[in-house]
Structure 1
Amino acid sequence: MTESWRFLVDENLLGLLRWLRILGFDAIAFQAVPDSVLIHEAQVQGRILLTQDRQLVADFPQAILVAADEPKAQALEVAKRLKLQITAPLTRCLKCNAELKEVSKAHVNVQVAPKTLEIYDQFFECPVCRQIFWKGSHFKKLMKEVEAINQALSG
């Protein structure tokens, strides 16, 4: 599993939230809440607060100000700044952040198209929202993006 980095992003960084989950990191967001709630939750849950709000960083200096505008660039910026090691990409649910669990074909045979069952042998399920994942074309595309981020980190 990926290092135990845990993140809290503000509502302006929801694209970054998705990328952190793609990279295998525990990342959550709170929307439409006062900064005081973000600060409290970051402290109580032991999370790194990521924001583009300069005032929030002034109020909570432990927060990290993210400068990049594009979500993938934001993820790279955070990874470089914190020297993150990406060791378990695509192991979290992109919707709810839970760690995915491997499940049998028999377990997913009603939820997945018959053609998908013919082509793929390995399936994963989110234990919270029950979404099913497999290593299809979307997975391969995202892995290429992850590899590009890893190259940028090592180069």
Structure 2
Amino acid sequence: MNGPRVHIAFAPELNLFIAADRRAGRTETETDGVSSLGHVVESLGVPLTEAGTLSVDGAVVTAGHVPREGERIEVAAVTRPQRVPGAPLRFLLDVHLGTLARRMRLLGVDAAYFSEDIGDPALATCSAREQRVLLSRDRGLLRRRELWAGAYVYSDRPEEQLRDVLGRFAPPLAPWTRCTACNGELKEATKESVAGLLEGGTERSYDVFAQCTACERPYWRGAHHARLAEVVEAAVAEFG
């Protein structure tokens, strides 16, 4: 590029994204003299959703800063819990995170999810339109400029994914208040009001029900309740 050379160091938490030869500390990189620091950081592998404070020669700068010759740049990891501008805190999950979406909904966290792949542009547009934090393991998707906010999901194990998201964003928890199927809100329901949606054995065996205000799906404390309650209790104990 024959442009300004800068010295850049990434926080250890970002090692996942950068080349092995940049993980030992500060390294030199050549810029084009025009591109922003945000572009430089992403060109080295780190989505800006994962970069925290950006510092140049000890002073905090924005991602729009254009690096100059000899600058010493520090790229920190995001601060946890991470504060996201705007309210309420809501999420949108990539197609491969269905189990995480259901667990977040189980805890009462607003988590939108499309069971079919609607494509990166549509996901990014939805994030911007509804002001939702997009959760994904796709680094390319997290680099899309139209995103409102985003976060990389570091694990491929649902239980670790849930702890990561709750620890990073500290969303308010309200267990058993959202439909795990559609993300709608649950309300108490009488057995009579949902009787037509139940199988005979369920109607005979249970007396306490809730119903989704959006898809009208009924809920009751069935055979899987104990396992789900363990998930809820563990999350509330650690993050509630």
Q: Are 1:97 and 2:190 matched, yes or no?
A: no
Q: Which of 74, 96, 107 is the equivalent residue of 1:23?
A: 107
Q: Which of 122, 125, 128 is the equivalent residue of 1:37?
A: 122
Looking at secondary structure, tell me which structure has more helix per residue: 1
Deviation for aligned residue 1:110: 3.7
Deviates more, 1:138-147 or 1:111-120: 111-120
User: Computing the radius of gyration over CA atoms, which structure comes out larger, 1 or 2?
Assistant: 2
Q: State the match for 2:208 in structure 1.
A: 122
Alignment of 1:71-150 (within 5 A): 71-86=158-173, 88-113=174-199, 116-117=202-203, 119-150=205-236
Q: CA RMSD in A?
A: 2.3
Looking at secondary structure, tell me which structure has more strand per residue: 2
One-letter code aligned to 2:140: Q
Gaps of 5+ in 2: 1-86
User: Could you tell me how far apart the structure 2 residues matched to 1:36 and 1:75 are?
Assistant: 25
Q: State the match for 1:9 in structure 2.
A: 93
Q: How many residues align?
A: 151
User: Could you tell me how far apart the structure 2 residues matched to 1:53 and 1:106 are?
Assistant: 46
Q: Which of 143, 152, 155 is the equivalent residue of 2:238?
A: 152
Deviation for aligned residue 1:21: 0.9
Identity %: 35
One-letter code aligned to 1:128: A
One-letter code aligned to 1:32: D
Gaps of 5+ in 1: none
Pick closer, same or farther for the CA change 1:91–1:139 going to 2, 3 Å. Answer: farther
Q: Which has the higher contact order (CA 8 A, sep 6+)?
A: 1
